[in-house]
Homo-oligomer: A and B are copies of this chain.
Amino acid sequence: MMNCLGRYLRLTTFGESHGTAVGGVMDGCPAGLRIDTGQVAAALKRRRSGDVKQESVTKRQEPDEVEWLSGLMEGVTTGQPIGFVLRNRDVRSEDYEALRDVCRPGHADFTYLHRYGMRDWRGGGRASGRETAARVVAGAVARQLCEKMWQGFKVSTCADEEHCVVCTVEGVPAGVGSPLFDKVNARLAHAMMSIPSAIGFEMGAGFAGATWDAATWRDEWNEDGTTRSNHCGGVQGGISNGMPIVFRTAFHAPVTTLEHMVCLNTREGRLQPVCTGGRHDSDHIGRLPSVVEAMACWTLADLGMEKFNGGGMGPMGRMGPMGPISPI
């Protein structure tokens, strides 16, 4: 996996906060999909809107203009990989000189150093929230693919006071996902916990539901195949049941808002107070709903490609040549 998410629809991202650009390659998007680039721009703008709200905190400017490099002809996908780039501007790595030899608390400085034997000390590098801009681009494309696959597809989020983002996905039909490691819930958990500062994930009733007895937890049938409650969050045995898919992701507070830090100087092996004047991506909470939606769209589009395209025959009889499928 490393920098790659998805199996049928594969997103590879690249780029650091203080390098030249962030970007990505979307591989596996079917040909013939007209991409509304306006929707992509809107998603990026929405991601940035959290920043705007708390302008005093976030000083960094990131004009997010997508440059589409390949895979589109006259606005329509050709089936070839879609490369795109978002340039970083206003990169002043000198702001970070003071951090060259020290590891900040609550950051990835120390762990990158141990992982790679070195680290990109210019800002958050790959660990920065900047990287999520590429995910939002991909998610905006995936959303359009989902809307083509499934009438009524709709993703919405609600961020509460406590750094939790509740996400509801409507319009995914029954039968998406696979039993073991491609469970919808497992794949969503993977995608959500890959977002910087994510610390918790739950489906439907989640942790609260874990305390209930079976009779309370169990979602009872209606005659039409819907259920009276939706404690399971729209997924049974890892596969969607046609009810809204509901999950919640928790994030911790942005640690970079604190101006005074006691850092670990790894060169001298001692603690060292540091006063940061850098322009950190501090308002990540405001951005998170758009990133959560992007990851949800990408994950469901990937799983949907398998189902829609007939990983199994399904009641829709997609794998027709194998014989008639009895309708349920």
Contact = CB atoms under 8 A, between A and B. Distances in A.
A79 B251 CA distance: 26
Given A19-B70, A20-B67, A162-B211, A239 B115 contact: yes
Nearest to A263: B221
A82 B14 contact: yes
A158 interface: no
Contacts of A233: 199
A239 B112 contact: yes
Contacts of A120: 73, 78, 80
A298 to B, nearest CB: 11
Q: Which range holds the interface residue count of chain A?
A: 35 or more
A69 B19 contact: yes
Nearest to A11: B181
A128 to B, nearest CB: 10
**Number of copies of chain A assembled together:** 4
A225 interface: yes
A137 to B, nearest CB: 14
Interface string A214-255: 110111110101010001110111111110000000111111
A85 B189 CA distance: 30
B116 A32 contact: yes
A301 interface: no
Given A83-B21, A215-B258, A258-B215, A193 B200 contact: no
Given A199-B207, A214-B257, A221-B262, 9 more contacts: A1-B178, A5-B181, A107-B236, A111-B175, A114-B173, A148-B321, A148-B322, A210-B251, A308-B310
